[in-house]
Amino acid sequence: MSSSPSLNTWSDALSGFSIGWFPLGLVIVAVIPLVFIALYALTYGVYGERKISAFMQDRLGPMEVGFWGILQTLADILKLLQKEDIVPTAADKFLFVIGPGILFVGSFLAFAVLPFGPAFIGADLNVGLFYAVGIVAIEVVGILAAGWGSNNKWALYGAVRSVAQIVSYEIPASIALLCAAMLAGTLSMQQITVMQTGPGGFMHWFLFNNPIAWLPFLIYFISSLAETNRAPFDIPEAESELVAGYFTEYSGMKFAVIFLAEYGSMFMVSAVLAVAFLGGWASPLPNIGGLHLNDMTSGPAWGAFWIIMKGFFFIFVQMWLRWTLPRLRVDQLMYLCWKVLTPFALIAFVLTAVWEIYR
Amino acid sequence: MSEYFSNIKTGATTIATGMGITLKHFFNAIKRKGDTGIDDADYFRQVDGLCTLQYPKEAIPTPPHGRYRLYVNIDDCIGCCQCERACPVECITIETIKTTADDLAVCGKTSGGQQKRMWVPVFDIDTAKCMTCGICQSVCPTDCIYHTPVADFSEFNVKNMLYHFGNLSKIEAEAKKKKLAEQQAQAAKEKAAAGAAGAPAAKPAPKPAPKPAPQQKEGEA
């Protein structure tokens, strides 16, 4: 492993940096993912999704603000900033205000264990994967607070559906990630990634170096769609039924924060998928003979590039699915979770264990 | 049990098919649907590519025989007011002044060669009301009111939807009215004098007045 000596060097150096008593380096470590979420949500998340959806529906999408509508998101942000920040009279003010906060913090905290390349990770926990799965579940509390606090029938329905859905889908998702943890023999996000690096590029990824991983990979991907409330599992915010689901009553910047949290967790689950099965920051290019493509495309900066690209690819697949599939009914959603994904996840779990013993 | 697995299989295959279709559309986004009209043989063959028309910048041209915004070629209008009476939504308002004998040459002829006998100081069409039925066009004896292919004439102020086609300014109209009134007074006096003398005075107009309606209108004015 050529890159292992430099593992976490950047983030370690940053976290050791402080001015007097003030740990400025730690703040910077925390700010980097925040800035990343904001930038990516602004460009790829909103503008990209609008364009991709438009192209899939034979439309042009935003075209007016800037060249090919590229400044459309900035115009939207300006609009949201100017909007009145309404707290309904009948709402539970505390829950209403704290809801978006918990939502965003929940999705943002998971970025702490996300390795942005071999040299940078917020916190290289030895239970990183477990932490990521667990901390994302905090979002449920935020959704419930927002939906209940709004004192609105649609918001409450959306929140209840969302909680039921996320809690249910945690199970197949966790079992599927457990398969990856078994293959790696560790829960640390960095170590899982390191296990998948090598001169063969993509051939070392768990998805390709054993015959079973495609099953937990698919199961985790499907469950992650449900956990982030993306189509076809967007029943918590089903536009045609519930207006906007649990954030029906939100306006202005609170609405923007909820959206930011949603895009943050979209990237989070995509990155976790990439780390668990597709080698995280590992380069997909193999060394072919004398051509050392893998060595050339490895390193801290390349690592950041690869994991972000892998995350973006799965976000593209999420968008692609969103504009392809109709929304599931609540009973179909539960059927898929409990009767299809969970049994298959258990089968995958057993098969992975057998593979690990006898390979 | 077999139904369970066949359900999963159906789910997987239909999702794959659907995603294939969306991806095809996504990659076809580099193409634009052509602008062949419905009468073109290739119309139904152009299924690939973006179909958005960025309206104010791009537009399918309205056909040359399109019947949209009304236009009045006021030089040809003889002030018969048939369109005003025919209009089902009463969107046309016309005021006319009879032309005095010495002004006939100034008033001129229509392009068809017909002598105009009416000044038309007011010819207003409220295009906001107009429903483009085309009845005014069909009743016009000189074909001077007609629909044009101009389809987009929206305005921010509804008052701008009132189109003025009259060809006399207010001052001119006042002058013409005054002149006519004087001449009529003169004629009435002469008539009275002639009636007293027992000899009918020769009328200045060589032909009978074309329509009775404008005279009623004139009486109002």
Write the secondary structure of A233-292 as one string of H (helix), E (strand) and C (coil).
CCHHHCHHHHCCHHHCCCCHHHHHHHHHHHHHHHHHHHHHHHHHHCCCCCCCCCCECCEC
Residue B11 shares a structural domain with residue B88: no
pLDDT value at residue A236: 77
pLDDT in tens, A321-351: 888 888 888 888 888 888 888 999 999 999 9
Q: Mean pLDDT score of chain A, rounded to an integer?
A: 83
Residue B215 shares a structural domain with residue B114: yes
CB contact under 8 A, B51 and A59: yes
CATH number of the domain that B108 lies in?
Answer: 3.30.70.20
Q: How far is CA B91 from the centre of its chain?
A: 10
Residue B131 shares a structural domain with residue B215: yes
Count residue pairs from A and B with Cβ separation < 8 A.
43
In a domain, B63, yes or no: no
In a domain, B201, yes or no: no
Given a cut of 80, whether residue A60 has pLDDT beyond it is yes
Partners of A63 on chain B (C-beta within 8 Å) are 54
> Mean pLDDT across the stretch B30-57?
73
> Mean pLDDT across the stretch A146-157?
86
Given a cut of 50, whether residue B21 has pLDDT beyond it is yes
Closest residue of B to A340, CA-based?
Answer: B8
Residue B14 shares a structural domain with residue B88: no
In a domain, B143, yes or no: yes
Of the candidate ranges A84-88, A135-139, A171-175, B49-53, the one whose mean pLDDT is the lowest: B49-53
Partners of A59 on chain B (C-beta within 8 Å) are 50-52
Angle among Cα B73, B77, B82 to the nearest 5 degrees reads: 115
Alpha helix segments (H runs only) across B87-144: 104-107, 135-139
pLDDT value at residue B216: 44
Given a cut of 70, whether residue A219 has pLDDT beyond it is yes
Distance CA A44, CA A61 (A): 14
Residue B160 shares a structural domain with residue B78: yes
pLDDT value at residue B61: 76
In a domain, B199, yes or no: no
CB contact under 8 A, B52 and A58: yes
**AA identity, residue A30:** A
Residue B99 shares a structural domain with residue B136: yes
Residue B177 shares a structural domain with residue B84: yes
CB contact under 8 A, B50 and A323: no
Residue found under tokens 């996840």: A345
pLDDT in tens, B96-125: 888 877 777 778 888 888 888 888 888 888
pLDDT value at residue B214: 45
Distance CA B119, CA B171 (A): 13
- Nearest CA distance, A57 vs chain B (angstrom): 7
In a domain, B58, yes or no: no
Partners of A56 on chain B (C-beta within 8 Å) are 22, 25-26, 29
Distance CA A249, CA B6 (A): 42
Closest residue of A to B26, CA-based?
Answer: A56
Confidence of residue B213 (pLDDT cuts 50, 70, 90): very low
Confidence of residue B219 (pLDDT cuts 50, 70, 90): very low
In a domain, B64, yes or no: no
Note the pTM of the prediction, 2 decimals. 0.74
Partners of A52 on chain B (C-beta within 8 Å) are 26
CB contact under 8 A, A55 and B23: no
Given a cut of 50, whether residue B215 has pLDDT beyond it is no
Distance CA A345, CA B4 (A): 16
Given a cut of 70, whether residue A287 has pLDDT beyond it is yes
Distance CA B16, CA B21 (A): 9
Q: Are B40 and B60 in contact (CB under 8 A)?
A: no
Question: Structurally, how many domains does chain B consist of?
Answer: 2
pLDDT value at residue A350: 92
Distance CA A134, CA B172 (A): 87
Residue B31 shares a structural domain with residue B77: no
Write down the ipTM of this complex: 0.73
Q: Which domain holds residue B184?
A: 70-192+210-220
Given a cut of 80, whether residue A19 has pLDDT beyond it is no
Nearest by CB to A56, which of B4, B26, B54?
A: B26
Nearest to B19 by CA among A322, A92, A185: A322
Beta bridge partners of A115: A121
Residue B127 shares a structural domain with residue B40: no
Given a cut of 50, whether residue B144 has pLDDT beyond it is yes
CB contact under 8 A, A324 and B15: yes
pLDDT value at residue B187: 84
Residue B41 shares a structural domain with residue B126: no
pLDDT in tens, A103-118: 888 888 888 888 887 8
pLDDT value at residue A3: 43
Residue B74 shares a structural domain with residue B178: yes
CA Rg value for chain A = 21
In a domain, B203, yes or no: no
Distance CA A164, CA A328 (A): 14
Residue B89 shares a structural domain with residue B139: yes
In a domain, B141, yes or no: yes
pLDDT value at residue A1: 39
